[in-house]
Amino acid sequence: MDKVGFIGLGRMGRGMASNLAKKGFELVVYDINPEPVRALEALGARRANGVAGVAQASDVVITMLPASPEVEGAVVGPDGILANGRAGQVIMDMSTVEPKTTDLIAKAAAEKGLSVVDAPVGRLAAHADRGESLFMVGASDADFARVRPMLDAMGTTVHHCGPVGTGIRTKLVNNYLAIILCQLNAEALALSQRFGLDLTKTLEVCYGTTATNGQLKINWPNKVLKGDIEPGFTIDLAHKDLSIIIAAANAEKVPLPVAAAAREMFSLARSGKYGQADFSAMVDALCDAAGIDKPRVPEGWTPPA
């Protein structure tokens, strides 16, 4: 069995790495924050001396980092994975980054005899904790077969989207829809509140038509509509992803006017108190701006089947 290194034990990475440890993988970990490292040590993982230590001790190195600069630094930086790795290793980046970052690290790795898999994560942090993540994977057939046991340990759904680079591009398409739906839902429910409509009846109507969507029916009743805006995925991160999506679309000469408008609404929300709130809290930010009561379902209410 490959020895696995894990760099980046944030809100998503900690749960993912924990599932690897619990399921018997020999694991070495590193994060700039010592607290999650200690938690992984308690599960049997070994602490590494920085990124270099992870690269030297692992056969497959997983990165789960905030954005493109951190991924590029970890992989191609002077003390990074490529400087300390060896031919035959696989780097599996699970971060949400610019496609050009994935292309850059894949090219740099190939020149040194290493390979790259891009496997960004779908679903939320709670799913990562439970080992129920969804992965969109870009990899050669051989690399996909090699990392598949790790993906199965961390999640329940694995899509091999094509060669390296297709995973992150698929993730951007998916996140575009998920994030835009939060803005659309926020506007629709704010309007329903201003109209004085019964919220649960309005939701029941929408759930029975093509107006419904996964955010409105699955995420929102478990988050903002019951008053829980603790982040599974923050407004700050959603804004970051929209920025990546727009930049990638611009590079491909694909106009995304809805994405551009939504990003400005996310900019407005994060300029106040909502940056670290769950992205479903876009409806609260909009209601605050318009002086509308925030939509909340009664305690114990559940969406109709």
Catalytic residue list contains 171: yes
Q: What does the H/E/C string look like for the chain?
A: CCCEEEECCCCCHHHHHHHHHHCCCCEEEECCCHHHHHHHHHCCCEECCHHHHHHHHCCEEEECCCCHHHHHHHHHCCCCHHHHCCCCCEEEECCCCCHHHHHHHHHHHHHCCCEEEECCEECCHHHHHHCCEEEEEECCHHHHHHHHHHHHHHEEEEEEEECCCHHHHHHHHHHHHHHHHHHHHHHHHHHHHHHCCCHHHHHHHHHCCCCCCHHHHHHHHHCHHHCCCCCCCEHHHHHHHHHHHHHHHHHCCCCCHHHHHHHHHHHHHHHCCCCCCEHHHHHHHHHHHHCCCCCCCCCCCCCCC
CB–CB of 131/157 below 8 Å?
A: no
- For residue 84 the two structure tokens come to 């300390």
Which of 3, 100, 107, 171 is flagged as catalytic? 171
Q: Which residues are catalytic?
A: 171
